[in-house]
Chains A and B, each alone.
Chain A
Amino acid sequence: MSAADSPTTEVSGQKILLDQVTKTYAGQHGAAVDNLTLEIPAGKIVMLVGPSGCGKTTTMKMINRLIEPTRGRIVVGDEDVTTIKGDDLRRRIGYVVQGAALFPHMTVAQNIATVPKMLGWSKDRISARIDDLLDLVSLDPALYRDRYPRELSGGQQQRIGVARALAADPPVLLMDEPFGAVDPITRQRLQEELLRIQEDLQKTIVIVTHDFDEAVKLGDWIVVFREGGHIVQYDTPDRILADPADEFVEHFIGSGAGLKQLTLTRVRDVQLADAVTVAPGTSSADALARAREAGHGHVVVLDDRERPLRWPSLRSLGRTTQVPGGLDPDLPVVGSTATLQDALDTMLVSSAGAALVTGRHDAFVGVITVEVIMDAIAAAREASGADDEDTPIGTNERPEEPAAAEEPA
């Protein structure tokens, strides 16, 4: 169920350990983060959630030491980075802030080149890297390289923000409310894109958010914080939903925990129905014959790169002699990394009762129906809490004796 269980790629992320870290501010009562020990496993997405002022942002900023811890140790990979030069550490850790905060006086290419330039890469290497990264975040390099941030939409800016953070291929990526400043539709798309990128890259990603739904959707693990950087629960999304540690977490999850289960399963994890596919311009009679033979009521029209164009019923196809081309703007399409909730949304909006599913490069992979989603809900209810992955350590307790085994909070 974790978002990063694709077996083909290698984990390029590194684990992070905050070891009894405390942050106090002069003139402030109580610690902002109090004796926190937090283990973040390599190659996973860990979400830090909690109400404002709970210390989640402080915790994240102590990983790259934008905020220097008052006490405690920070370990990235196997290296203690508590005392190395802060700027050097930050060049090795990707950082994305809310609203992207691109440098407005620099072009897209210059923004992305920021860290590689500081690391002294050659011009050719930087240039090639810029093109790769623009491809990675689905923006055409020829079109976007030389644009300035103000010539981009909010979603595009956020994509460039991610590209800038990934420029020097850091093992760790920190994101501070990365999708807080964009509209809901763009947010959903950016979230899916992040998951798709993560599938390839397998970085260690730490994301701060106050949006629990986002945490459930993106996180392999979720840390729920209370004031003072106290960990209330550190667990997988489905176990937090099924078994909240206390009333605070329950309250934070909000209502509709059952529906939220839908965000835990992705389209690619369920059985998709197949479909009869045809190319535009072929004979309608042939297409009809094939569809009837397969017992289907619709055919899917694909372009030469396997991308779905339209989805005519046999009746409307019967009125034509050639299969029509051209993109239907209302076509219900979801990506295979989309959650079942997104798929359900798409179906309800299009009133089709089903949606087309696309995979890599938007190529058609199958059809998802309402029935499939209902089955998945039933299955998830039975399976909830059944898997037993080892929860990483997360605690605010001081070890009584050196050998004390720490229980998950």
Chain B
Amino acid sequence: MFWTYVTDRWDQIWFASWQHLWLVVQCLVLALVITLVIAFAVYRVPWARALANGVSAIGLTIPSFALIGLLIAPFGFGVLPSVIVVTFFATLPVLRNAVVGLGQVDPQIVEAARGVGMSRTRVMLRIELPLAWPVILAGLRVSAQMVMGIAAVTAYALGPGLGGFIFSGLSRLGGANSLNSVVVGVVGVVLLAFVLDLLLVGLGRLTVSRGIRVRS
């Protein structure tokens, strides 16, 4: 029964999964860029750092469902409010980790880098970012897990992805295939989260220097 439901709609499910994954990946990249800009701006200034940490803690308490509802008024239905909500929530854990990670870089090392004639920008890109990267990446993994679910919620604003299966199933619960529809959405999101996490672990293998990798 369930299998016939899945095989009958395989193309549709496959397409929605891709959309879902793409939405999340693109928003994660966007979130990472935003994070780095903010983190490098604030991490040296104690009050700004505290503010960033506060915002990322409080921001996580906002119900995503409420936020997407609120964004429909100014931005209408569709992709845009989804991207905004997913990016917003993706930014929070990464930002927290980025600020912490940059704060943990040994000031002696930064001074040595300045002392041999690296410019401020070069120190950021060649020294501070690579050293904080494992911590930032850990935040990115948390973000990825979290926004997989949030991306499903954005289907409320008729955004792309697997959320459509969940909402349409829930809205006609008891009807034909309604439960199957919800299960497809939920299981699909869980599987995608798993796949993305594996990809991020692989990214870590490729991008974290052997000199600072945690030995297992």
Q: Which residues of A contact B (CB under 8 A)?
A: 64, 66, 87-92, 94-95, 97-107, 114-115, 118, 148-150, 161, 164-165, 174
| Minimum CB–CB distance for A386 against chain B, Å | 40
Contact partners of B212 in chain A: CB under 8 A = 104-105, 150
Are B109 and A66 in touch, CB under 8 angstroms? no
Residue of B at shortest CB range from A146?
B210
| Minimum CB–CB distance for B124 against chain A, Å | 13
> How far does the alpha carbon of A95 sit from the alpha carbon of B212 in the complex, in Å?
23
Are B109 and A164 in touch, CB under 8 angstroms? no
Are A87 and B118 in touch, CB under 8 angstroms? yes
| Beyond A99-B108, A103-B113, 8 extra complex contacts between A and B, CB < 8 Å | A87-B117, A87-B118, A89-B117, A95-B116, A97-B115, A100-B112, A101-B108, A102-B109
Are A88 and B117 in touch, CB under 8 angstroms? yes
Contact A148 to B211, CB < 8 A, known contacts A103-B127, A104-B131, A105-B130: yes
Residue of A at shortest CB range from B107?
A101
Residue of B at shortest CB range from A150?
B211
> How far does the alpha carbon of A118 sit from the alpha carbon of B119 in the complex, in Å?
10
- Interface residues contributed by chain B, number (CB under 8 Å): 20
Per the 8 Å Cβ criterion, residues 177-204 of B in contact with A are none
> How far does the alpha carbon of A173 sit from the alpha carbon of B153 in the complex, in Å?
61
> How far does the alpha carbon of A149 sit from the alpha carbon of B113 in the complex, in Å?
15
> How far does the alpha carbon of A97 sit from the alpha carbon of B113 in the complex, in Å?
10
Q: Could you give 23 example pairs across A and B, Cβ below 8 Å?
A: A66-B111, A66-B114, A87-B117, A87-B119, A89-B117, A90-B115, A90-B116, A97-B111, A98-B108, A101-B109, A101-B112, A103-B112, A103-B127, A104-B212, A105-B130, A105-B131, A105-B211, A106-B211, A114-B116, A118-B118, A161-B112, A165-B116, A174-B115
Are B112 and A97 in touch, CB under 8 angstroms? yes
Are A115 and B116 in touch, CB under 8 angstroms? yes
Residue of A at shortest CB range from B105?
A104
**The residue from A66, A102, A118 contacting B115, defined by CB atoms under 8 A apart:** A66
Are A90 and B117 in touch, CB under 8 angstroms? yes
**The residue from B115, B127, B131, B209 contacting A95, defined by CB atoms under 8 A apart:** B115
Asked if B106 lies at the interface with its beta carbon under 8 angstroms from chain A, I say: yes
Are A91 and B117 in touch, CB under 8 angstroms? yes
| Minimum CB–CB distance for A64 against chain B, Å | 7
| Minimum CB–CB distance for B136 against chain A, Å | 13
Contact partners of A174 in chain B: CB under 8 A = 115
Are B115 and A103 in touch, CB under 8 angstroms? no
Are A103 and B109 in touch, CB under 8 angstroms? yes
Contact partners of A105 in chain B: CB under 8 A = 130-131, 209, 211-212
| Minimum CB–CB distance for B155 against chain A, Å | 41
> How far does the alpha carbon of A101 sit from the alpha carbon of B114 in the complex, in Å?
12
Contact partners of B106 in chain A: CB under 8 A = 101
> How far does the alpha carbon of A64 sit from the alpha carbon of B118 in the complex, in Å?
13
> How far does the alpha carbon of A64 sit from the alpha carbon of B113 in the complex, in Å?
13
Residue of A at shortest CB range from B215?
A150
Scan B89-131; emit 1 where CB is below 8 A from any A CB, else 0. 0000000000000000010110111111111001000010011
| Minimum CB–CB distance for A254 against chain B, Å | 28
